[in-house]
Amino acid sequence: MTSDPHPPMRSFGRIKSRPIKPRQAALMDSLLPQIRCPAEAFDPRRLKPDAEAVWLEIGFGGGEHMAAQAARTPGTLILGAEPFQNGVASALRHLDEQGLQNVRLHDGDVRDLMARLPDACLDRVFILFPDPWPKARHNKRRLVQAELIADLARLMKPGARLRFATDWADYADWTLERFAASPHFAWDAERADDWRKPPADHITTRYEEKGLGDCAPVFLDFVRR
C-alpha cells in the first residue's frame, strides 16, 4: 500500500510530553492491544454485539470524560481516539481502575479511524475542548473543517447528536459557521443557557477546569438531520 501523497493537515501538536509512569506504561503494553480498534475496516457493533448504541469521542484527552460516560452507560460501546500518548496512558489507567469493558481505543489521528467505519454507525459524537489553534495563521489546523463534518455526516445516524465544547470564543464561532454551512446538521439551541450552561450529562475534566481559553466554556449540540 502506498502512502497518501497529500495527507490531511495534522490538527494536533506533540504526541508525547513527560515520561509515562511505569504502571501506565505497563498498561500500554498489556491492556491497549486488547482494546485497540482494528487496523482494518470494521463494524463497531461486532466488537460488542449487545451494544445498545455506539458513541465516538474525538480527542479524549486524559480519558476522564470517556471513562465516566462509559461507567454511566454500560450498554453503550464507546470508541475513543487520541493521538497524545500520555493521554492514552492516562485513559488506560481510568479504564483499568474502573474495570470498564465497553471502550475501544484508537491511539492516533481520528480521521484514520473514521475512514475504517461504515456508514450510519454512530449514535453520538463528542468533540470536547480540541486544540484551538488560536493564531489566525494556524486556524487551518483546527480539527473542525468542512471535510471532517462531511465525514461525520456519513458516519452518524439520522437523529444522532454531536456535542462540541470549547473555551475559545473564536473557535465557537468558527464551528457554528461550518456546521451551519452543512445541510446535514441542525443546531437546536433555543436560548442562551443552551450553550452557556453545561448540559445535564456533561462531565467536567481537569483540562476544562484549568480555564486556558479566553471565554467561559461554550457547549454546542448539533443533530444529524
Judge whether 29 counts as a catalytic residue.
no
- Pairing of the two strands 122-128 and 185-187: unpaired
Please tell me which residue in 96, 112, 131, 221 is annotated as part of the active site. 131
Name residue, grid cell 500500500. 1
Please name which of 61, 90, 44, 97 lies closest in space to residue 208, comparing C-alpha atoms: 61
> Which residues does 188 contact at the CB level (< 8 Å), separation at least 6?
221, 222, 223
Q: How many CB atoms lie within 10 A of CB 58?
A: 26
- 8 Å CB contact between 37 and 109: no
Distance CA 142, CA 171 (A): 9
Cell of 148: 471532517
Distance CA 121, CA 43 (A): 8
Please name which of 30, 40, 204, 183 lies closest in space to residue 106, comparing C-alpha atoms: 40
- 8 Å CB contact between 78 and 66: yes
Query: Which residues are designated catalytic?
Result: 131
